[in-house]
Chain A
Amino acid sequence: MSEKIPIGEKVLMKGNEAMGEAAVQAGCMAYYGYPITPQNELTAYMSRRMLEEGRIFIQTESEIGAINMCYGTAAVGERCMTSSSSPGMSLKQEGISYIASASLPVFFVNVNRGGPGLGNIAPAQSDYFQSTRGGGHGDYRVIVFGPTNVQELYDFTMLGFDVADKYRMPTMILADGILGQMMEPLVLHEYKPLPDLPSKADWRLGDPATKDPLLVTSLVLDVPGMEQRNLDLFHKYEEITKNETRYEEVDTDDADIVLVAYGTCARIARSAMEQAREEGMKVGLFRPITLWPFPSDPLSKLADRVEHMLVVELSLGQMWEDVRLATGLKTKVHLHGRTAGGIPGQADIVEHLQKALDSKSDEIVRNF
């Protein structure tokens, strides 16, 4: 990018860099990161842009350092961000757990790669459980966006900062190596904050205007006190489920079978849907946009009138479990899961759709 950022215009940009620019536009005051592929372009981009803006950039000693710097920066009321990829996200989970308990707003990105362990640097969605179940120790959730293109990486980064502030909680984007690495046209929308974002004046530390000393902690030794803290979090989560659940439905009205896919997979699934329709199958697409809160209610309603669903994901049945939980026994939920960098082809999905439609009444079709 040139030094002058063409806000409002259409540009060609890499996914990782688009998230960085969105964060800058959304008023992120501090970025803390540690190198890991395939998200390195984001850290590199921020190392220049944050300094150009007179803001804070630190290449940290570890992912643990980065997330704990976020904890500190959020506690004094400033917007901050970190990013990583799967093995690095495992290291950050400790800090995310503390941030969740202390009700601090922090935004972060996971550009998911193949695992477990060191795995590989190929695209994957196998951190779905880690992202949508909280990820670290304890009873909590993280708001998770699953963008499908570079425009959404940009837009949901901005929204992510707002939502984190609105609910005072960790909020993330779960992307994958393809989304992070690819270049696509996008419009650099001007940042417009959500209306009525709450003030931080009554809880941020180090503010001389606050009369009584404040405490930010996740330690509550008395059982009723800690239980109440967690119940308060879960009441907030119910509110978020009501207000922030996002999804997209395409051609589901007449569908005999609905593909359920997010992120990169949703793009392949959409192409497969179009091909299958040309071949005479009545196929729809349901795309969860928030992975937590998961769009369980709309999926459940869809299950009332659709006999089959086929989950396509870059993991071996992680989101499949959520779809089955959402739909109960109302519909047959089939699975096409690839892992560790394997990508389902359009033709594979079409073939799987046909198998699912042809399946016996008690048969669930899986590709492995």
Chain B
Amino acid sequence: MEKVFAMPEAMKDAKTLYCPGCGHGVAHRIVAELVDEFGLREKAIGIAPVGCSVFADLYWNFDVISAAHGRAAAVATGMSRAKPDCFVISYQGDGDLAAIGTAETVHAANRGENFVTVFINNAIYGMTGGQMAPTTLVGQPSTTCQLGRDPSIAGYPIRVCELLQTLGGVAYLARGSVDSPKNVMATKKYLRKAFQLVLDKKGYSLVEIVSPCPTNWGMNPPEAMKWLKDKMLDHYELGVFKDITAES
């Protein structure tokens, strides 16, 4: 009998610690499937950031290093420069990449560092218990903006792909979502392109994944998915923002 669906080799057969309805599991799996697809398991190094995905090593069946909060892009730089044969995947959340790690992110992108960044945007700090993220929507409540994000106090939700778009070292930028099978497939396609560009040594490649966090949004999983579609995708437009190999 033909086997049509199996656990990726790059994934461990582990029980998930993520909450019901969390987007990390899907994102982890897409990464693992692509690691298998490109035959990279033995030379891949995943970076587990500070945040819920700090335990990515429980799920990924390849080398993992945990980085200090916000420093993943610098750690990725240090690894990919010193061992260009390695395939470095920097997996980061919104607080990590777009708040405390903004400097490392912008400068790694601008230098065109050759690694893949998977950027999980769930508009909240997950692990620390639902604080406001740089990507929290205007009006969205969190434990540190209990009356909803007020731009006069806390500024506006940062669109990371658009922010990085002007930088010379960037090879590829795209934003996907895990709200539907169609968008999961599109996200995997974006990430496949990012993998290919990094394998081709084209430089900094980032795929942002808009992802639900039902627990910290105070919703059940179906409500969270609906809120993501209705509210987040209204602010965070899906698609490819930069592709240096695209026909102009």
A residues near B, CB below 8 A?
Answer: 29-30, 32, 56, 58, 60-62, 64-66, 68-78, 80, 94-95, 98, 205-206, 208, 210, 213-219
Interface membership of B54, Cβ < 8 A: yes
Interface membership of B81, Cβ < 8 A: yes
Residues of chain A within 8 A of B77, CB atoms compared: 58, 65, 69, 72
Contact of A30 with B75 in the complex, beta carbons under 8 Å = no
Supplied contacts A68-B75, A75-B78, A208-B42, 9 more A-B pairs, CB within 8 Å: A30-B78, A69-B75, A69-B81, A72-B65, A73-B78, A94-B68, A98-B68, A206-B44, A206-B79
In which size bucket is the chain B interface?
35 or more
Residues of chain A within 8 A of B48, CB atoms compared: 217
Contact of B81 with A217 in the complex, beta carbons under 8 Å = no
Selected A-B contacts with CB under 8 Å, 27 pairs? A30-B81, A32-B78, A58-B81, A64-B71, A64-B103, A65-B77, A65-B107, A68-B67, A68-B104, A69-B75, A69-B78, A71-B67, A71-B71, A73-B79, A75-B78, A76-B83, A78-B83, A95-B68, A205-B63, A205-B86, A206-B45, A206-B79, A208-B43, A210-B63, A216-B66, A219-B54, A219-B66
Closest to A30 in B: B82
Residues of chain A within 8 A of B65, CB atoms compared: 72, 75, 205, 215-217
User: What's the minimum C-beta distance from B9 to chain A, rounded to whole angstroms?
Assistant: 11
User: What's the minimum C-beta distance from B159 to chain A, rounded to whole angstroms?
Assistant: 21
Residues of chain A within 8 A of B54, CB atoms compared: 219
Residues of chain B within 8 A of A68, CB atoms compared: 67-68, 71, 74-75, 78, 104
Contact of B63 with A215 in the complex, beta carbons under 8 Å = yes
Residues of chain A within 8 A of B124, CB atoms compared: none
Closest to A32 in B: B78
Contact with A along B29-73 (1 / 0, CB 8 A): 000000000000011110010000010010011111111100100
Contact of A70 with B57 in the complex, beta carbons under 8 Å = no
Contact of A60 with B64 in the complex, beta carbons under 8 Å = no
* Interface secondary structure of A, over-half rule: mixed
User: What's the minimum C-beta distance from A149 to chain B, rounded to whole angstroms?
Assistant: 32
Residues of chain B within 8 A of A213, CB atoms compared: 57, 60-64
Known: A213-B62, A215-B63, A217-B48. A60 touches B74 (CB 8 A): yes
Shortest 8 CB-CB distances between A and B: which pairs?
A: A72-B78, A206-B86, A68-B74, A69-B78, A61-B107, A208-B42, A72-B75, A217-B66
What is the CA–CA distance of A62 and B74 in the complex, to the nearest angstrom?
10
What is the CA–CA distance of A208 and B85 in the complex, to the nearest angstrom?
10
Contact of A71 with B75 in the complex, beta carbons under 8 Å = yes
User: What's the minimum C-beta distance from A218 to chain B, rounded to whole angstroms?
Assistant: 7
Q: A72 touches which one: B44, B61, B76, B87 (CB < 8 A)?
A: B76
Closest to B105 in A: A61
* Interface secondary structure of B, over-half rule: mixed
What is the CA–CA distance of A98 and B49 in the complex, to the nearest angstrom?
13
Contact of B81 with A73 in the complex, beta carbons under 8 Å = yes
What is the CA–CA distance of A216 and B81 in the complex, to the nearest angstrom?
18
Closest to B66 in A: A217
Contact of B81 with A56 in the complex, beta carbons under 8 Å = yes
Q: A217 touches which one: B42, B43, B57 (CB < 8 A)?
A: B57
Q: B79 touches which one: A60, A66, A75, A214 (CB < 8 A)?
A: A75
What is the CA–CA distance of A74 and B67 in the complex, to the nearest angstrom?
13
Residues of chain A within 8 A of B44, CB atoms compared: 206
Contact of A206 with B83 in the complex, beta carbons under 8 Å = yes
Residues of chain A within 8 A of B74, CB atoms compared: 60, 64-66, 68-69, 71-72
User: What's the minimum C-beta distance from B120 to chain A, rounded to whole angstroms?
Assistant: 18
Residues of chain A within 8 A of B104, CB atoms compared: 61, 64-65, 68
Closest to A61 in B: B107
Contact with A along B74-112 (1 / 0, CB 8 A): 111111111101111000000000000001101100010
